[in-house]
């Protein structure tokens, strides 16, 4: 009788331990966000009439992105400003 109780107790303990383990819910799919660029007037530098090349380049993983592209949440976006 004691052996049967020990076996049942061990089985119950094993079931509890297996259920206590975290369940793998898979990898979270990162959200994607749409990128929109809009022109900005320079506030620190007044361009001369011949300087018409003011632009910003945005890159993700060293790849240039454009307005309307999607970027995954958590990705680093590097902006580079070109003046003149």
Residue pLDDT, tens place only, 12-38: 777 766 666 666 566 667 788 787 776
17 three-class SS: helix
Higher pLDDT: 35 or 73? It is 73
Higher pLDDT: 27 or 74? It is 74
What pLDDT is attached to residue 26? 63
pLDDT of residue 7 exceeding 80? no
Higher pLDDT: 19 or 45? It is 19
- Helices and strands of the chain, counted as H and E runs: 1, 5
- Strands (E) across 13-76 are located at 32-34, 54-60, 63-65, 70-72
């Amino acid at each position: 009788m004691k052996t049967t109780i020990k076996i049942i107790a061990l089985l119950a303990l094993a079931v509890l331990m297996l259920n206590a383990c975290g369940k793998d819910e898979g990898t979270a799919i990162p959200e994607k966000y749409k990128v929109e660029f809009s022109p900005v007037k320079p506030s620190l530098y007044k361009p001369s009439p011949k300087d018409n090349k003011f632009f910003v380049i945005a890159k993700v993983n060293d790849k240039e992105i454009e307005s309307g592209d999607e970027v995954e949440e958590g990705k680093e976006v590097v902006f580079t400003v070109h003046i003149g």
